[in-house]
Amino acid sequence: MSASQNETQAVYRSGRQTQGSDFRPAVILQVLPELETGGVERGTVDIAKAIVDGGGVALVASQGGRLERELERAGARHITLPLKSKNILTMRQNGRLLADLIGAEGVDIVHARSRAPAWSARWAARHMQVPFVTTFHGTYSGYTNPFKRYYNSVMTMGDQVIAVSEFIANHVRKYYKIDEDRLNVVPRGTNVDLFNPENVSQERLIALSTQWRLNGDDQVIMLPGRLTRWKGQAFLIKAIPAMLAEIGHRNVRCLLVGSDQGRTAYREELIALSRSLDLQDVVHIVDHCADMPAAYMLANVVVCPSLDPEAFGRVPTEGQAMGRPIVATAHGGATETVLPGETGWLVAPGEVAQLSHALAQVLSLSPQRREAIAQKGRQHVIEKFSLTQMAEQTLAVYDKALQPIVRNNAA
């Protein structure tokens, strides 16, 4: 690490120089539409905690949601603003409100995590002359539409830009001109203490197993994720008949763990598909689960059969942290998080025969081979995709954004 980087990080963690020799903690404002469940929201809370633990002040502005309480427990503060709105007048008003907030709280960095609030946050940050950081969380859509392409481009307008995977970084390079010095790959982090087999009690396993009516003879295939077509639930269901034929028995339960979020038509379509394939005793939709570590412990294999590329995808890293083999489609973030032949299997999107065979292979693993995969998977996540690493890398991006200001103050 260079001397200037050391100096910048020391200033960030001890406080920003304001006047003379006075120092104060660095104040970081994260901006996003709401604080309901999801990868963006979870990452916001995790980074807020890291800011506080590093000696800074963490502020989050959003429309609010169920994660507000967890944010406050982390020592951060939430400011409620209508940042989910895409109404141009509301976005302009949000910009003025954010500028007032920056001034009142002495914000040092504004970090935007979604497009609509990013436009408001960008104006506010430029108006108040503070660094602007963005996180590019997904591929978005509409690149053939000039207006939509420009609307998406705000996520590349940060003084520093974070991509949640190499897949997303390459997507940014493909569609936008961006200096490599501004582009930073920071994979999403997994809480390896929460997702740790040793920390899941037998009582939790028994409670969840009873709720899902599992028995000790069942081999469990689990697909965690909201019920939406691109997540690949139908792809998985279609692969089960050939898999059952290959393993030679039906002591299998396929659990679709996730809410339909109002997509009742798709839910009914999945139920009808299961019946048409005579899988009504195998496939079960179990809705939202509040104890995912215990859920992973009940699984023999965790499946991520998405039809479209995942920007990162938390399920493969969570499943590996719990020592579970992964079967995922070979695109997007899964190609970075799953080690084929070591921690899981990768199959071509939509290729039913490949998915069937991969599942049969996993369910036929010897205890010794399963244990080797479990150890390698957990080690892989601890080394590459932990919360600690995400926090350190994000704070380093904040340091980069502050470097010009630190140099100016030192001059």
CB 311 within 8 A of CB 336: no
Q: What integer pLDDT is reported at residue 123 of this predicted model?
A: 98
Helix/strand number for the chain, H first, E second: 16, 15
Q: What integer pLDDT is reported at residue 405 of this predicted model?
A: 61
The interaxial angle of helices 115-128 and 88-105, nearest 10 deg, is 50
* Rounded Cα gap, residues 79 and 398, in angstroms: 21
* Rounded Cα gap, residues 63 and 242, in angstroms: 47
* Rounded Cα gap, residues 46 and 315, in angstroms: 17
Nearest of 95, 56, 103 to residue 75 by alpha carbon: 56
Percent of the chain predicted with pLDDT > 70: 92
Strand partners, 329: 347
Task: Give the model's confidence band at 151: pLDDT under 50 very low, under 70 low, under 90 confident, else very high.
Answer: very high
Q: What integer pLDDT is reported at residue 385 of this predicted model?
A: 97
The β-bridge relationship of strands 301-304 and 326-329 is: parallel
Q: What integer pLDDT is reported at residue 360 of this predicted model?
A: 98
Q: Is the pLDDT of residue 301 over 80?
A: yes
Number of other CB atoms surrounding residue 379 within 10 Å = 13
* Rounded Cα gap, residues 214 and 89, in angstroms: 53
**Bigger pLDDT: 237 vs 11:** 237
Q: What integer pLDDT is reported at residue 22 of this predicted model?
A: 52
Q: Is the pLDDT of residue 406 over 70?
A: no
Q: Is the pLDDT of residue 13 over 70?
A: no
CB 258 within 8 A of CB 222: no
Task: Give the model's confidence band at 11: pLDDT under 50 very low, under 70 low, under 90 confident, else very high.
Answer: very low
What is the rounded average pLDDT of the residues 179-184?
96
Q: What integer pLDDT is reported at residue 221 of this predicted model?
A: 98
Q: Is the pLDDT of residue 310 over 50?
A: yes
What is the rounded average pLDDT of the residues 361-387?
97
What is the rounded average pLDDT of the residues 276-288?
95
| Model pLDDT for residues 257-270, shown as the tens digit of each residue | 998 888 899 999 99
Taken in order of first residue, the domains within the chain and their CATH numbers are 3-189+386-410 (3.40.50.2000), 197-384 (3.40.50.2000)
What is the rounded average pLDDT of the residues 27-41?
92
Task: Give the model's confidence band at 23: pLDDT under 50 very low, under 70 low, under 90 confident, else very high.
Answer: low
Burial level of 46, CB count in 10 A (0-12/13-18/19+)?
buried
CB 114 within 8 A of CB 33: yes
- Mean pLDDT score of the chain: 91
Q: Is the pLDDT of residue 309 over 80?
A: yes
The one-letter code for the residue type at 361 is: Q
Q: What integer pLDDT is reported at residue 411 of this predicted model?
A: 44
| Model pLDDT for residues 188-242, shown as the tens digit of each residue | 999 999 999 999 999 999 999 999 999 888 999 999 998 999 999 999 999 999 9
| Model pLDDT for residues 45-104, shown as the tens digit of each residue | 999 999 999 999 999 999 999 999 999 999 999 999 999 999 999 999 999 999 999 999
